[in-house]
Amino acid sequence: MPTHYLACDLGADSGRLMLGTLDNGKILLEELHRFPNGPVKASGALHWNIDGLFQELKTGLKKAAARQLPIASISTDSWGVDYVLYDDRGLILPPVWHYRDSRTAGGVENVRAHVDWPVIYSETGIQFMALNTIYQLAAEPPGRLAAAKQLLLIGDAFNYFCSGVAKNEVSLASTTQLYNPQTRAWSKKLFSALGLREELFAPICPSGTRLGPLKKNLAIETGLPQIEVIATCSHDTGAAVAAVPAAGENWAYLSSGTWSLMGVEWPQPVITDQGRGLGFTNEIGLGNTVRLLKNIVGLWIVQECRRQWAKEGKKNDFAALEQLAAAAPPLVSLINPDDPRFLSPDDMPHKIAGFCQETGQPVPATHGAYVRCIYESLALFYRVVLRRIERLTGKKIERLHIVGGGSQAGTLNQFTASALKIPVLAGPTECTALGNILIQAITLGHLPSHAAAREVVRNSFELKTLAPQSTAEWDAAATRFEKLVS
């Protein structure tokens, strides 16, 4: 008999409620409700409209109830680092901050005044990013933290909204830079150094934890029965990696979207001086595996260019930009995607032009040239990151799985295969929702293992294999590129 599950998949640009149906060794996904998301600007600050997102979830649950299917369970996954504070009545203390808000710069200075960076990395294995939870909390007014009774990360706040049970699932907790993957607990050393109350942080639970039934009032309001609420991998990348359709060893993954997250699934943390210097992060995945990865600004750069061009009255969808990029001259100008200027929004083409001028390269002359510059630079940066992964692990990577929305960016993925000189397997696009649903199935005993879940993905979706091309030209470009990132 088919089994049905719901996945609330929250991204920084949009959210979806997805219906997953597991039947005869295959899985089918259907989008029930999609809704916009994004930062809300208020008094110059960036927030999330958390109440609006809760209302959108309710709308999706009503649509699910209208289908009159025997749904087994629901879980939410989200982006990392951001959090919700609650008072002693269980009410949200506004605002819910957006990770791109500029206040984090002050938080970085506050943390540096109390604890050294090597200590933070040795405790957490997480790369430095000013948006990490540790720095966001250090930017909070002390009175607001004192008034807070509980902190939940975004995906876990949605599971709490559904179940009334407050837990921070480990994959999402590991993004905070306050979790110690060696002790498998919140870092007492960092809490002490920064004056953080451990009781503020809801307890950590493993991936695949049954939280309890859907709250009765929510079930009545939406028309659903009291289905099981499960904490799967609450971090969207953790869920996506759980559904990577890989088999065997010597593979790496690239979760490609607004962010590019490139890494390997590893049995234990790799917390070394070399890893710290190279900016690698150790996040937790299903079964307490470690996602040894590098966070890379990904298609965000293209998205911001497109937004700027639209403001100027020149609208193109991504498919059109991809065609323009494919037709532009190859390997003319390159940028370092890791340059901090590309993290912030507003007039991205101007920032790219500035980087090219500073490094003595031609400024891209057309929209296609800009996008090609971004794509080629990302592919070459992926090459740099892959070589570093090989050095850190001592393993030679033989193939790369690209999942997420970026798996549809055929030009970028071909560039990546050529730059890395290994086959690329692209797809599926919906790995985050897939992972969320498959972990629900494992938790409920409907699938016997993680390996069986990955086999379901392979049986359900056709993957596109891209072989390397023009590798000599890419080797020459890599030599130029390395001077930009050294």
Query: Domain ranges in the chain?
Result: 3-235, 244-427+448-486
Instruction: Give the residue-averaged pLDDT of 289-294.
Output: 97
Task: Report whether CATH 3.40.50.300 matches the domain 3-235.
Answer: no
**What pLDDT, on a 0 to 100 scale, did the predictor assign at position 49?**
97
Q: Percent of the chain having pLDDT more than 70?
A: 100
- Measure the CA–CA gap between 410 and 323, rounded to whole angstroms: 10
Residues 463, 7, 210: CA angle, nearest 5 degrees: 120
φ, ψ (nearest 5 deg) of residue 181: -75, -10
Active-site annotation, residues:
236
Query: Are β-strands 399-403 and 424-426 bridged in parallel, bridged antiparallel, or unpaired?
Result: parallel
Q: How far is CA 163 from CA 74, 156, 450, in A?
A: 10, 10, 25
Question: Which amino acid belongs to residue 482?
Answer: E
**What pLDDT, on a 0 to 100 scale, did the predictor assign at position 216?**
98
- Measure the CA–CA gap between 35 and 432, rounded to whole angstroms: 16
Instruction: Give the residue-averaged pLDDT of 104-109.
Output: 97
Q: Is the pLDDT confidence value at 227 over 90?
A: yes
Instruction: Give the residue-averaged pLDDT of 87-115.
Output: 97
Q: For residue 150, what are the β-bridge partners? A: 86
Q: Do domains 3-235 and 244-427+448-486 have the same CATH topology?
A: yes
CA atoms within 13 A on the CB side of 244: 30
The residue to which tokens 């090219």 are assigned = 356
Structure tokens at 324: 């323009």
DSSP for 168-182, please give it: EEHHHHTTTT-EETT
Q: How far is CA 267 from CA 249, 285, 454, 461, in A?
A: 12, 10, 18, 27
Task: Report whether CATH 3.40.50.150 matches the domain 244-427+448-486.
Answer: no
pLDDT band for position 345 (cuts 50, 70, 90): confident
pLDDT band for position 486 (cuts 50, 70, 90): confident
Q: How far is CA 295 from CA 165, 381, 425, in A?
A: 31, 11, 20
CA atoms within 13 A on the CB side of 188: 4
8 A C-beta contact, residue 5 and residue 71: yes
User: Kind and range of the H or E element at 262?
Assistant: strand 259-266
Average per-residue pLDDT in the chain? Answer: 97
pTM above 0.95, yes or no: no
**What pLDDT, on a 0 to 100 scale, did the predictor assign at position 87?**
97
pLDDT band for position 278 (cuts 50, 70, 90): very high
